Amino acid sequence: MTDASPDLAQLEATLSLAPSDLAVRRDFARALAAAGQTDRAVIVLAEGARHHPGNPGLAVDLAQLLSGQGQHHPAQQVLTAALRARPDHLELRGLLAAELAADLKTAEAIRHLRLLLAQLPDQPLVYANLGTLLQTAGNPDSAIAVYRRAIALDPDNAVAQVNLGTALMTRGDYAEGFDHYEHRLSLPHLRLPPPGLPRWKGGEKAGRLLVSAEQGYGDILQFARFLPLLSEWSDEIWLDCPAEMKRLFDGMAPLAGTISPGDPQPELDAVVPLLSLPHCLGTGADLLADSIPYIKMPAEGPALPPDRRPRVGIAWSGRAGGGDLFIRRTLQRRSCSFAELAPLWELDDICFFSFQLGKAAAERRKPVQDLSHLIGDFADSAVLASQLDLMISIDSAPAHLAGAVGVPLWVMLGPGQADYRWGGARGSSPWYPKARLFRAGASGWTVLAAEIASALRSHGFA
């Protein structure tokens, strides 16, 4: 092992002398993984299984390495075998439930979580995870009851609080839902408002108010509809937003202006997170869609190439996200490949325009026309979207942009995607009245694309 560090070489030599020493084997595998030699670490642990069949610690290490490599089915096999030998082992069962949940084997994952609760009846984290799976399975009422149990056991469980909020909003209970959703501000990795300013919580004049954008582009576009409602609470409102959105919002009433990283900050009296506006303003379902369109078009912008055919925008991939295993894999399923939408490209009577940016844009092929050279920022995208007859998009920024400018919108939702924005199991969204929802099932995106192609024909697009 000429390329190994002294510690790795020493651990390997020790293991060769005592191959049944479990502690040394696990230490060696961890050191290999830390050095980026994950494949070797997997081999070392797999060999250890012959010396220590059913050992839970070994199984946990091996399953986590396999899962990190994207080998989720082998990881489940390792955990299942170990759990068969140690059915009382809580960590094994919890990890297996997480792997099954991330693989959309929801019923199996729920069964394991209920078995965990039989052993640990007062564990708020298990209740919170169970609620997430019930919500994913399209059962918000059961999820709400389970989240409430988790919160009763641990009122500071921010995940359960936030998820309870989204489940309530899915059911249409916006007042209570947004109340619980405020707990997102204590979650790690959230972009918090700039420090040093008092938080405006509604109910009184705000003075010079900064609205701090948070989360992704789609969330900013979705919640921008509430900005005009601030006019009675503040005479000077500034929006903190990404630079690529500045021009889109610069002319939006009642904003005095926008601030992006690096811009000089005006004198301000208070700050409020953008997604807190419904809670601070007491907004309910009756105000969600009243003001559409709420994005003001720039005076000038790019034009779509002339074509007499119906003009349909398309976006198929969103930005990758982080988080735990379940969140990461859920976000991955929100995107598809260009090739998986092949049934759409057979419709010669439609002029398709790609609103896809980033790495996935390189997947585009004929007959879809590329617009990336016309899109410098979100203002350009809005002008182009306003010229469409229809936008077809996954749940990403182009979908929310089309909804905000009042363009008819068909949203492609990934397998297992349950989101309050898109109205639970309904085929429409209370946020965008011109939206129609298409949900991919176990048969995948190509089957969904064929369904959308059929809908385009029946609606006279092709």
With 60 as the cut, is the pLDDT of residue 6 above it? no
Does the domain at 6-186 match CATH 1.25.40.10? Answer given as: yes
Q: Determine the number of helices (DSSP H) and then strands (DSSP E) in the chain.
A: 19, 10
| Ranges of H-type helices in 86-200 | 90-102, 106-119, 124-136, 140-153, 158-170, 174-181
Beta bridge partners of 272: 211
- Does residue 366 carry a pLDDT above 70? yes
**What's residue 321's pLDDT?**
63
Q: What is the CA radius of gyration of the chain?
A: 25
pLDDT of residue 290: 63
Of 67-81, 170-184, 234-248, 326-340, where does mean pLDDT reach its minimum? 326-340
Residue 127 CA to residue 223 CA, distance in Å, equals: 30
| Tally of CA atoms within 13 A in the half-sphere of 315 that contains its CB | 29
Reply yes or no: is the peptide bond before residue 293 cis, omega within 30 of 0. yes
Q: What is the DSSP string of 30-79?
A: HHHHHTT-HHHHHHHHHHHHHHSTT-HHHHHHHHHHHHHTT-HHHHHHHH
Using pLDDT thresholds of 50, 70 and 90, give the confidence band for residue 2: very low
- In sequence order, the 6+-apart residues with CB closer than 8 A to the CB of 38 are 32, 65, 68, 69
Helix, strand and coil in the chain, % to nearest 5:
50, 10, 40
CATH of 311-458, one of 3.40.50.300, 3.40.50.2000, 3.40.50.10380, 3.30.920.30: 3.40.50.2000
- Predicted local confidence at residue 284, as pLDDT: 65
Higher-confidence position of 170 and 148: 148
Q: How many CA atoms lie within 13 A of 77 on its CB side?
A: 7
Domain residue extents for the chain: 6-186, 208-287, 311-458
Give me the amino acid identity at 119.
Answer: Q
Q: Which of 90-94, 199-203, 298-302 has the lowest mean pLDDT?
A: 298-302
Q: Which two tokens stand for residue 298?
A: 């720039």
Higher pLDDT, 238 or 215: 238
CA proximity to 432, closest of 218, 261, 244: 218
Q: Which pair of tokens denotes residue 5?
A: 């560090």
Burial of residue 278 (CB within 10 Å: 0-12, 13-18, 19+) is buried
Between CA 292 and CA 283 the distance in angstroms is 15
What are the φ/ψ torsions at residue 263 (nearest 5 degrees)? -80, 150
22's tokens: 């479990």
- Closest alpha carbon to 413 in 439, 447, 448, 445: 439
State the DSSP string of 269-293.
SEEEEGGGHHHHHT--GGGSSTT-S
Calculate what percentage of the chain has a pLDDT beyond 90: 55
User: Rounded to an integer, what distance in angstroms lies between the CA atom of residue 378 and that of residue 429?
Assistant: 23
Q: Please report the pLDDT score of residue 1 as a whole number.
A: 35
Angle at 264 between CA 262 and CA 268, to 5 degrees: 125
Closest CA relative to residue 166, chosen from 177, 182, 151: 177
Region 325-342: what's the mean pLDDT? Answer: 83
Determine the pLDDT at residue 18.
77
Which two tokens mark 13?
Answer: 């030599």
Q: Please write the tens of the pLDDT for every residue from 97-113.
A: 999 988 889 999 999 99
pLDDT in tens, 81-91: 999 989 989 89
